[in-house]
Amino acid sequence: MEIVPVLLACAVGGVGCNFGLHSATPETESAFLKSYTPEQVIDRFRENLGSSHTRNFGSSAERAFVPHEAGFQFCVVLRRENWMPLMNALRDDALQQLSSNGAEVLSQSGNSQDGFRFDYKVNQSTGSLRILPLATTSLVHRRMPLPQGLEDVTVKIEQSEKWFPNKVGILRVSKATS
């Protein structure tokens, strides 16, 4: 009978009852996760015929780490010939923002047609940033069609990061040759 009040206190108030879980707080978010935005790059390429964007963010509590998920989705009007230059500018900007926030890029892959992925570490966090391939969108409904050469395009970027209670180290393995 005395266990019930303790369980209720944990379920209702959570006071002292995290059972080893690490909770999401501003301290578990890297400077890069907090500050990264591709908006200025996209603004340089988009046509002034309307646009919209959303930013999502979420996190949860885990025992070994704190996971964070974030992302952007832009619906913009682009000229077809600006697709690849925009993707390359997004890549360059992401690398610059990673560096300016103290992140070490562990790997990068992709191309301007298929999208890019960057894996990184910064302080107690490891993460990845994915710039997905550009795609025409049917999310925009227009009364009049766009002028020749312009398209409604979706730009989507996904971030995931894990904060660990201890500083993140990198294990480097080399293959011995005989």
| Residues 113-144 pLDDT 10s | 999 999 999 998 999 999 999 999 766 677 78
Which segments of 13-167 does DSSP mark as H helices, in order? 31-35, 39-45, 83-100
Does residue 173 sit within a domain? no
In this prediction, residue 142 carries a pLDDT of 74
Does residue 1 sit within a domain? no
Does residue 9 sit within a domain? no
Does residue 158 sit within a domain? yes
- How far out from the chain centre does Cα 125 lie? 13
Report the share of the chain in percent with pLDDT over 90: 50
Q: Which of 167, 176, 156, 164 is nearest to 56 (CA)?
A: 156
Question: Could you give the number of structural domains in the chain?
Answer: 1
Hey, what are 51's tokens? 């646009």
In tens, the pLDDT along 85-113 reads: 999 999 999 999 999 999 999 999 999 99
In tens, the pLDDT along 35-50 reads: 999 999 999 999 987 7
Tell me which residue range forms the domain holding 31: 19-163
Does residue 115 sit within a domain? yes
Does residue 38 sit within a domain? yes
